[in-house]
């Protein structure tokens, strides 16, 4: 048996509005989502909620890498979250939601199911 999950895509902003190594916040299906442009065609989306500080601030974090793995460092306590998995590198078991993201016709879109 094959299960198919229908995905809804929400337009966030023009891709040109997000410089490399930065992020923006968007409201997707009532949830705050942080969308990050790492470089070139490398985009990621996470929950904007920082579970360590209790604030919706990850979109304002510092985008970089840790051992070659793209991360965002929260602007509050500098806890780092892997952009691909949402895993917090400083606190075992802490993770944020990861969203699908794509760029179509120059527009950044975030997927939700």
Determine the average pLDDT of the residues in 71-93: 98
39 confidence band (pLDDT: 50, 70, 90): very high
Residues 23 and 59 sit within 8 Å (Cβ to Cβ): yes
Question: What is the chain's Cα-based Rg?
Answer: 14
| 6: pLDDT strictly greater than 90 | no
Q: What are the residues facing 81 on neighbouring strands?
A: 72, 88
The token pair at 26 is 């968007």
**∠84-26-65 over CA atoms, to 5°?**
30
7 confidence band (pLDDT: 50, 70, 90): confident
Beta strands in the chain (DSSP E): 8-14, 22-28, 31-39, 42-47, 49-50, 55-56, 62-66, 69-73, 80-82, 98-104, 107-112
Residue 112 lies in a domain: no
For residue 1, give every residue at least 6 positions away whose Cβ sits within 8 Å of its Cβ, in sequence order, or none: none
Q: What is the number of domains present in the chain?
A: 1
DSSP 87: B
Determine the average pLDDT of the residues in 78-99: 98
pLDDT value at residue 74:
98
Residue 110 lies in a domain: no
Residue 10 lies in a domain: no
Read off the pTM: 0.93
Digit-coded pLDDT (tens) for 62-76: 999 999 999 999 999
Percentage of the residues of the chain whose pLDDT score is greater than 90? 92
CATH of the domain at 29: 2.102.10.10
| 13: pLDDT strictly greater than 80 | yes
Range of the domain at 37: 20-99
Determine the average pLDDT of the residues in 27-55: 98
């Amino acid at each position: 048996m094959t299960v198919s999950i229908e995905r809804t895509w929400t337009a966030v902003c023009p891709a040109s509005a997000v410089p490399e190594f930065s992020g923006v916040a968007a409201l997707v299906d009532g949830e705050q989502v942080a969308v990050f442009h790492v470089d070139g065609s490398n985009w990621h989306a996470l929950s904007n909620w920082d579970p360590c500080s209790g604030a919706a601030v990850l979109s304002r974090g510092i985008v970089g890498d840790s051992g070659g793995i793209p991360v965002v460092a929260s602007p509050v306590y500098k806890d780092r979250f892997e952009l691909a998995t949402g895993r917090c590198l400083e606190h075992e078991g802490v993770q944020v939601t990861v969203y699908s993201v794509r760029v179509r016709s120059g527009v950044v879109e975030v997927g939700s199911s």
